[in-house]
Structures are given as structure tokens and as C-alpha cells.
Amino acid sequence: MRTVLVLNGPNLGRLGSREPEVYGTQTLADLERDCAATAAELGLAIDFRQTDDEAQLLAWVHEAADRRLPIVLNPAAFTHYSYALHDALAMRTAPLVEVHLSNPATREVFRHTSVVASVADGTVAGFGVLSYQLALRAIAALAEQTGG
Ligand code: CA2
């Protein structure tokens, strides 16, 4: 069964504790369960991870490149300024979908820039937990197209 890395950046471990009007009421553990259920429907397995550490996130992106694993990535605030993350993702060897719970385009101006978007196959934003489900569907379709 194809494994998809579902990677989550800084502060997402705090989901469900604050700003429910922006990020919803689900915790990260709820989100992981939801992604696992969607992945199972699609015949995929997920490896779901979260870190507040940029170096750790880069190491996981390198691991994905070495293992040819597709990625669903919520880079959180790194989205907006991490050129190191951009460069690491540019070395990817399998599909990549950027995902956001909120719609950054409707929020503060600093969130309107993504340094990840240009190296991703696509972006899903603004649908809460559904953003992750749609991203997994996109990964399944891309993996099928590319024979992966
Ligand atoms: O909408 C998203 O998924 C974001 O990637 C979330 C990031 C934000 O910096 C991006 O602009 C958009 C922030 C995640 C912070 O997570 C929190 C979780 C619980 C309470 C407060 C923040």
C-alpha cells in the first residue's frame, strides 16, 4: 500500500485549543484520525507528523525525497518565509500538495505569499479538515497518473 507523508508545521499541535473560528474545533489527533480514514478509502496509508522545528521538517522532506514518498504538507507559518523549505521541496521525487485549514488569501497580507506553492503540484486551502481530505484525493489521483 502506498504511504503518504502528512506533514504539519509549527503550532498545529495546538489545534482545537484556540481560534476555533479560524482553525475549527478539531485537535491534531482528530485530524490524524480523519486523514487515516480518508486514506484507507483511497487505498493509501498515511504517516502523520507535526513539528515546530524547521530543521526537523527539512529532514522529513529529505526523507520523503529519498524514499519517493508523496507529501501532503501544511507548512503553517513556514509557508510564508522559509526559503530553506522551498529549496528542500524543490528536490522532491513524488507528488506534493500544499494544504491549509484556513484561506490565507483572505487573511493578513503576510499570509498572501506562499514560498511553497511554486514547488507544489497544487494547493488546497480554506476548507478546514476537508482541505486535507481533498489533498489526499489529489495525491491518489497524481500517484495513479504517474504510475506511483
Ligand atoms: O490555515 C492554515 O492551515 C495555516 O497553515 C495555519 C498556520 C498559519 O500560519 C498559516 O498562515 C495558515 C498557523 C497554525 C497555527 O495553529 C494554531 C492552532 C491552534 C491555535 C492557534 C493556532
Helical H runs in 1-53?
Answer: 20-23, 28-41
Q: Looking at 86, 100, 112, 132, which residue is catalytic?
A: 100
pLDDT tens, position by position, 66-100? 999 999 999 999 999 999 999 999 999 999 999 99
Contact 143, 45 (CB under 8 A): no
Catalytic annotation present for 23: yes
Q: Quick check: CB of 101 below 6 Å from ligand 1?
A: yes
CA–CA separation, 134 vs 42, rounded Å? 11
With 70 as the cut, is the pLDDT of residue 148 above it?
no
pTM for this entry: 0.97
pLDDT in tens, 55-73: 999 999 999 999 999 999 9
Per residue in 19-39, pLDDT tens? 888 888 899 999 999 999 999
> 118: closest CA among 143, 83, 77, 68?
83
Which residue's C-alpha comes closest to atom 12 of ligand 1? 76
Q: For the chain, which domains are there?
A: 2-146 (3.40.50.9100)
Ligand 1, residues 22, 23, 123: which to mutate, most atoms within 8 A of Cβ?
A: 23
Residue 47: Cβ within 10 Å count: 15
